Amino acid sequence: MNFTLLFPVSGLITAACAWLLWMGVWGKPRIGERGLALTLGFSMLLSLYALVRMEPITNWGLDFRLGASVALCTLIVQYIYVLGLLRHGIHGLGLFLLPATAVPLLLIPFLPDEPLLRVQASSMLETSHLLLSLTAYAVLTLAAIHAIMHLLLVRSLKRKQIGPIVQALPSLVEIENHMYGQVRTSAWFLALAILTGLTWQWESLGRFWLFSHKIILGVFSFVVLVTLLAMRKRAGWQGGRASWMVIAAYILLLLSYFGVRVVQSWLGIDPSQMPGL
């Protein structure tokens, strides 16, 4: 049996949940918080089972294919959302988050499974670096979705276009608080990922490989996040500037792993010859 086909099933369930939420925007709610959490929980169990069947954990360490990396990030994002749904009832976030997580799940069976796109980790430092990097990316994904909602809400309020979608979104204060909380968390995870990655390079190679694309993009993303947090504390930054900075940091982090891997595969470059972040 091709267990990767379970990912599209999970994606279809997630898409169905998104459809029910969007239908609730234009009429009566079609699904409650607990029903949504249970349905997404079942979807997550399917993804987790398929991920385990891909055997990312081997006798010598981790062996993450591109599909496994995407699946793990999606699982982390969905888990955080379900946790927030049960605690705070954040329906509005699901309008954007659920479609954003359904698409990767639907595409996983079609992702290339080339050796150049695999990430292998055999040491504790390397494994820690990989897991910290994927967690940082997943949390920053949530922050980017909040940033998009923030831009949409600000634009609608300025134009005085208060439609059903805007009414279904959380308030500006709630969006900003969640966004900055996620930015802070992802900055910590990214800092630890950079530290463990550099430490692993020193132990394995006896030197730092500072000019790889992954390190440069990852550090740039971290700098953007730290700058945003500093300006928030110092000047109380709000509005579009902060949201665009979050989106920029997310794109940089996206390129630092998934983008670089795909480009390296196209160019036929072996990532093992360019130790990354």
CB 143 within 8 A of CB 182: yes
Nearest in space to 78 (alpha carbons), one of 138, 22, 12: 138
User: How far is C-alpha 55 from the geometric centre of its chain's CA atoms?
Assistant: 22
pLDDT of residue 14: 96
Does position 275 have pLDDT exceeding 60, yes or no?
A: no
Nearest in space to 187 (alpha carbons), one of 249, 251, 242, 238: 249
pLDDT of residue 206: 63
Q: How confident is the model at residue 234 (pLDDT cuts 50, 70, 90)?
A: confident
Helices 172-205 and 240-254 sit at what angle, rounded to 10 degrees?
A: 30
CB 272 within 8 A of CB 204: no
Parse the chain into domains and list their residue ranges.
1-113, 142-277
Residue 47 CB-half CA count within 13 A: 33
CB 271 within 8 A of CB 264: yes
Q: Tell me how crowded residue 42 is: count the other CB atoms within 10 A of its CB.
A: 12
Residue with tokens 């740039």: 220
190: CB partners within 8 A, 6+ apart: 132, 133, 136, 140, 218, 221, 222, 225, 253
pLDDT of residue 89: 66
Q: Tell me how crowded residue 179 is: count the other CB atoms within 10 A of its CB.
A: 22
pLDDT of residue 58: 77
Average pLDDT over the chain reads: 83
- Helix or strand holding residue 261 (H, E): helix 260-267
Beta bridge partners of 121: 62
Give me the mean pLDDT over the 59-80 stretch: 86
CA–CA separation, 79 and 124 (whole Å): 25
Residue with tokens 């994002």: 77
CB 105 within 8 A of CB 47: yes
pLDDT: is 113 or 12 the higher one? 12
Q: How confident is the model at residue 238 (pLDDT cuts 50, 70, 90)?
A: low
Instruction: Give residue 187's identity as a one-letter amino acid code.
Output: A
| Range from 39-43, 121-125, 170-174, 236-240 carrying the lowest mean pLDDT | 236-240
- Helix or strand holding residue 62 (H, E): strand 62-64
Q: What is the pLDDT of residues 127-159, one digit of tens each?
A: 888 889 889 999 999 999 999 999 998 888 888
Helix, coil or strand: residue 1: coil
| Range from 25-39, 65-79, 259-273 carrying the lowest mean pLDDT | 259-273
If you write DSSP's letter for every residue of 89-107 in order, what string do you get? --HHHHHHHHHHHHHHHHH
Does position 1 have pLDDT exceeding 70, yes or no?
A: no
Q: What is the pLDDT of residues 96-131, one digit of tens each?
A: 999 999 999 999 998 877 665 667 777 787 888 888
Q: What is the pLDDT of residues 201-233, one digit of tens each?
A: 777 666 656 556 777 888 899 999 999 999 888
